[in-house]
Structure 1
């Protein structure tokens, strides 16, 4: 009996990139971080977010993912950037491939209550977030979002 072929629609060893949405949630001068409960980057501090569902806009994904992971309600304010997250395995094959649309959002109130694939959550300044996060792209996105918030020329989405 031959082995089954790999599931190419899987997030592991995919046959196409998955669209993910990362959310830079701000409250004052602090950003929301979650400790990831699933691969890739399990156990690392990161931004809340996840895969976009069919029929869902990027901003709907942002609102849903933050609610699922932390219970917080957010209002998306704009697109920060897009990140290619490609993780090879030891043999150089693509183990994970995400195209991440990074969304800025504001959260007015409430304490994060971890659920779904978030193990912990905390509010941190951009500097503190830089010390907690391990992935350079997460640090870059947070700093870029902070700079965009300070710039009156940055168009925001109502």
Structure 2
């Protein structure tokens, strides 16, 4: 079977955990965030990221996802953390299960103008102080705190 016909795993009620990547992209004392267009966390602000594709390295995946969601090309830095995000429905069944691999990153020299994709309702740069006043996902809060940014 060729790569164009590979069955994509279900994000909702998955058969196995899905591997996702994300990036805390920083420049000029600002952090790049997206407002999520899809569950989990629909409508909340979070770091850009997404699922790793078959045959793709983690670093390549995070660079691709950030560019797809925001239009920003990045240089991927050091690993911040690996976390699990398990969301259960009202019956206790696992609705979402992600293993998230998050990196630090910075824009490659050039434009910092964001161009959100349909996967993101919005994308923009925030100061740490501004982040305190917006609705943000719990996983993004924990990640930012881990690198010393109180939100």
Normalising by structure 1, we get a TM-score of 0.82
Q: Rate the CA distance shift 1:91–1:8 in 2: closer, same or farther, 3 A.
A: farther
In the TM superposition, residue 124 of structure 1 has moved relative to its aligned partner by 1.0
Question: Which whole-Å CA distance do the structure 2 matches of 1:112 and 1:143 have between them?
Answer: 24
Which protein is bigger by CA-based radius of gyration? 1
Q: Secondary structure at the match of 1:16?
A: coil
Question: Which whole-Å CA distance do the structure 2 matches of 1:132 and 1:101 have between them?
Answer: 24
Counterpart in the other structure of 2:129: 127
Which one is further off, 70-79 or 129-138? Answer: 129-138
In the TM superposition, residue 50 of structure 1 has moved relative to its aligned partner by 0.2
Instruction: For residues 33-61 of structure 1, give each alpha carbon's deviation from its aligned partner in whole angstroms, at most 9, with x where no partner exists.
Output: 10011111111111100000011111101
Which one is further off, 118-127 or 48-57? Answer: 118-127
Instruction: For residues 72-100 of structure 1, give each alpha carbon's deviation from its aligned partner in whole angstroms, at most 9, with x where no partner exists.
Output: 11000111111111010111100000000
Question: Which whole-Å CA distance do the structure 2 matches of 1:68 and 1:118 have between them?
Answer: 10
Which one is further off, 82-91 or 134-143? Answer: 134-143
Instruction: For residues 3-57 of structure 1, give each alpha carbon's deviation from its aligned partner in whole angstroms, at most 9, with x where no partner exists.
Output: xxxx994111111100000111111211101001111111111110000001111
Aligned length: 141
Counterpart in the other structure of 1:32: 32
Q: Rate the CA distance shift 1:130–1:79 in 2: closer, same or farther, 3 A.
A: farther
Q: Rate the CA distance shift 1:74–1:85 in 2: closer, same or farther, 3 A.
A: same
Counterpart in the other structure of 1:86: 86
Normalising by structure 2, we get a TM-score of 0.86
Counterpart in the other structure of 1:154: none
Where in structure 1 are there 5+ consecutive unaligned residues? 1-6, 148-158
Counterpart in the other structure of 1:64: 64
Question: Which whole-Å CA distance do the structure 2 matches of 1:92 and 1:78 have between them?
Answer: 35
